[in-house]
Amino acid sequence: MNDGTAISDELQIRVEGQIAILTMNRPDKRNAMNDGLLNALDAFFAKPPKDVRVAVLTGTAGHYCSGLDLSEHVKRSTEETLHHSRNWHRIMDSIQHGGVPVISAMFGAVIGGGLELATSTHVRIAEPSTIFQLPEGRRGIFVGGGATVRVGRILGADRMTEMMLTGRKFDADEGKQLGLAHYSVGEGEALPLAMELAGKIARNAPLSNYLMINSLSRIDDMSRSDGLFVESLSAAISQSTPDAEEGLKAFLEKRAPVFR
């Protein structure tokens, strides 16, 4: 995997230098999430290749991810659904807090579990075809992959409630205005921009990236005083590294830093 292409039935993985491109590959299901795809994502983010500093996550056949594969969902008992939801939470946490920055290149369906997946990533780019939706209420069910926290923190409970009650869809520009996407680009432009941004992020100091991923979202959950204390700890840790010394030296010498 480190220098070529690895393909599973549900997830294609290609590594280019320090960037891994992960393509969800269930075109006949609009890349709906089944256990195989979820497990493939889990396996990658549990132990990413050593040299990978950034991951780009995208879909195939015109869609990012249309959510949970309901043909599997209806077969689960109450207890099985509970454990499946908690396992989904664990995997989404590993994506958000695993230490590898993840960029979503989105188009087509970003629906239900697909939106839960996207909001566990750190940079989100939407093409004009992108549709954001949480349709679970119209199916007689409730979100279970983390939307109440991840999507709710972005939209606020009031707007998320309306979104779920009505099943309304947001397009790419609306999604950007609401914070579901950070960039709204033209057709075919999401992946090229994702690769450009991935290159920039890969050139950051690794520990700085790790702290940004792991500290900021947690500080958002904390009280003001606790958040400020964690900020101080993060600053102290980052500034004790050789990369910090190199960053300051490069600034004074008016050149680009070269981190480990």
**pLDDT on residue 257:** 81
**pLDDT value, residue 59:** 98
Percent residues over pLDDT 90 in the chain: 82
Q: What does the block give as tokens for 162?
A: 């309306």
Determine whether 136 is an active site residue: yes
In this model, does residue 7 exceed pLDDT 60? no
CA atoms within 13 A on the CB side of 165: 6
**Which member of 10, 80, 127, 136 is catalytic?**
136
Between 147 and 253, residue with greater pLDDT: 147
Q: Are residues 124 and 36 in the same domain?
A: yes
Least confident of 138-142, 168-172, 194-198: 138-142
Could you tell me if 222 and 96 lie in one domain?
no
Estimate to the nearest angstrom the gap between the alpha carbon of 252 and the chain centroid. 35
257 lies in some domain: no
| In the predicted structure, residue 1 carries a pLDDT above the cut 50 | no
| Per-residue pLDDT at 249 exceeds 90 | no
Give a yes or no: residue 69 inside a domain.
yes
Q: Quickly list DSSP for 116-168.
A: HHHTTSSEEEE-TT-EEE--GGGGT----SSHHHHHHHHH-HHHHHHHHHH--
Write down the pTM of the prediction: 0.93
- Decide if 116 is catalytic: yes
Q: Region 56-85: what's the mean pLDDT? A: 89
Active-site residue identified among 10, 16, 80, 116: 116
- Number of structural domains (the chain) is 2
Residue-range definition of the domain harbouring residue 40: 5-202
